[in-house]
Amino acid sequence: MTRVLLIEDDPAVRRGVVLGLRRYGHETEAVGTGEDGMEALADFAPDLVLLDLMLPGMNGLEVCRGIREASRIPIVILSARGDDMDVVIGLEAGADDYVVKPASGALIEARMRAVLRRVAPAQAETDASRGPTAVGALEIDRSALCVRKHGDDVPLAPSEMKLLLFLSAAPVQTFSRQQLLEDVWEHSYYGDARLVDACVMRLRAKIEDDPRHPMYVQTVRGFGYRFGPVPA
């Protein structure tokens, strides 16, 4: 049973989403403010957070950033604001996915499952026998699912970790955004290339010495991304 924390200020939406989540068998806690949501993180210990952006007081982006600073718990934004810029800002704040309201219970459930599959250490078993990989100042420990830079732990969100593990497993290969959507995010639909780009930006900010001139997550212009320097 998945424990889901819903942070939504509209009582009618809150009741409807909670009913749908419980119908799918999830244990659910629902609160109406960002401040209550941050408190519920410790008390309820959710497996996933569904987060509205338009909250009174502490808004959804502030909550998202606050959660991400302290935890790798998956975050799915559930918002009526569906402009591209709103989505990009939400993803850059640390969300793992973004669902535009109104959305059916089936869609919310599918997107939650996709995010939770990405979080699950599916590669841990197959990679358990492999020791840490050192590339420059970066050390990737696939069995422990942790990353260090200059010996210090680098906290990565689930989507950032999975993207780094995927790219670094094939350092000579270039992957298109579409391939990354299908293999890392495990779903594909129009407009989701921004998921990849936003995740790459967040990952570079954490692992690169100079994100504007990355040495680990490289852009192959016109094709996509790869791990390590692009050969001349």
pLDDT surpasses 70 at 218: yes
At 128, give phi and psi (nearest 5°).
Answer: -60, -30
pLDDT of residue 88: 87
Tens-place pLDDT, residues 46-76:
889 999 998 998 999 999 999 888 778 899 9
Supply the pTM of this predicted model.
0.58
Indicate the CATH number for domain 124-227: 1.10.10.10
3-7 and 48-51 beta bridge pairing: parallel
Once rounded to an integer, what is the mean pLDDT over residues 208-225? 89
Mean pLDDT of the chain: 84
Q: Taking the chain, what is the end-to-end CA distance rounded to the nearest angstrom?
A: 50
Question: Considering only the top CATH level, what class is 3-119?
Answer: alpha beta
Q: pLDDT band for 192, please (50, 70, 90 cuts).
A: low
193-207 vs 158-168: helix axis angle to the nearest 10? Answer: 90
**What does the DSSP 8-state code read for residue 46?**
-
pLDDT surpasses 70 at 230: no
Longest pairwise C-alpha distance within the chain: 58
Tens-place pLDDT, residues 74-99:
999 999 888 888 888 888 888 989 99
Exposure on the CB side of residue 78, measured as CA atoms within 13 A: 26
**What does the DSSP 8-state code read for residue 175?**
B
Instruction: Give, for 100, the enclosing helix (H) or strand (E).
Output: strand 97-100
Which CA distances in Å does 201 have to 194, 195, 215?
10, 10, 13
Q: Which of 192, 189, 217 is nearest to 202 (CA)?
A: 217
What CA–CA distance (Å, rounded) separates 48 from 5? Answer: 6
For residues 3 and 46, is the Cβ–Cβ distance under 8 A?
yes
Q: pLDDT band for 148, please (50, 70, 90 cuts).
A: very high
Where are the domains positioned within the chain? Answer: 3-119, 124-227
pLDDT surpasses 50 at 125: no
pLDDT of residue 224: 87
Amino acid at residue number 52: D
Instruction: Give, for 36, the enclosing helix (H) or strand (E).
Output: helix 34-44
pLDDT of residue 122: 42
- Residues linked to residue 217 through DSSP beta bridges, in sequence order: 227
Tens-place pLDDT, residues 18-38:
998 888 888 899 999 999 999
Reduced to 3 states (helix: H, G, I; strand: E, B; else coil), residue 31 is strand
193-207 vs 84-92: helix axis angle to the nearest 10? Answer: 30
Of 23 and 217, more confident: 217
- Burial tier of 176 (Cβ tally within 10 Å: 0-12, 13-18, 19+): middle
Residue that is written with structure tokens 């790798």 in the block = 72
